[in-house]
Amino acid sequence: MEKLSLVPVFFCYLASAWCFALERRKGESRALAVRPQTWLAAGVALHAAGLALMGWRAGNVPVTDFAQSLSFLAWLIAVSTLILVRRAGMAVIGTFAAPAAVLLTVLALLLNVRAASTLPAALRSLWLPIHVTMAFLGDALFALGAAVSFLYLAHESRLKAKRPILALGGQPSLERLDRLNYRLLGLGFLMLTLAITSGALWAGATWGRYWSWEPQELWSLVTWVLYGALLEARLAAGWRGRRAATLTIAAFVVLAGSFVGVSLAFPGRHGGSFG
């Protein structure tokens, strides 16, 4: 049942990504102006309903295996994209961000999302939704930062070739994209910091130790240091533009690789083995 509930979500996200792509190719068009966001909002609503149902049945946030984690991350990316597109007024961002939600939903379907496992009584805590939401929201914001960086590089390349990107609402300036990337990195870093802190406090209260050097914890620390160094370089060394965009994409590749690799090979307590 849980797998079937993702099918209409997938088609909504796919329709949104397709319309965003058409919008970019055709330029400003009132006929296409609301359609991508409407499809994305429909997917977000259906996805939220499915996640809420799974969580209600299990009594916990439905992220107790890799497929569920991918599904939850896809939803957060879709929500963040919808908010960002509306607040920034740059629908072209959806061209780069919406496909990420499509890809993650497809992977969740292929890996067969199932009912969320029941947590041990010791872990039924308010820390769970706080820790999990902060961690995945940080990942979602970093994904959007990478999407904006791709947009920056594509826009810069086309401007140099005197072939500007066709974008609804006008051309996004490189300076504006750079500032947006910085804000997304800052928010993502804050969420990751809160996730690590809440996870340590939760572990201390549950197992009597704040840090156990699990692979997932270690890679979270590596990611935190990596993004912290990138933000410091932007602040102290004044890294901007192409260099910052390229490094943002590189940092996200490391994050994505560690998320997939560690989750599949060394899940530990973060992969449904809570003992």
Q: Alpha helix locations (H) across the chain?
A: 2-26, 35-58, 66-88, 93-110, 127-160, 174-207, 215-236, 241-265
Tens digits of per-residue pLDDT, 48-95? 999 998 888 777 778 877 888 899 999 999 999 999 988 888 888 888
pLDDT exceeds 60 at position 34: no
Cα 112 from Cα 70, distance rounded (Å)? 11
**pTM, rounded to two decimals:** 0.86
Q: What is the mean pLDDT of residues 8-16?
A: 94
Tens digits of per-residue pLDDT, 150-203? 989 988 887 777 665 555 445 678 888 999 999 999 999 999 999 999 988 887
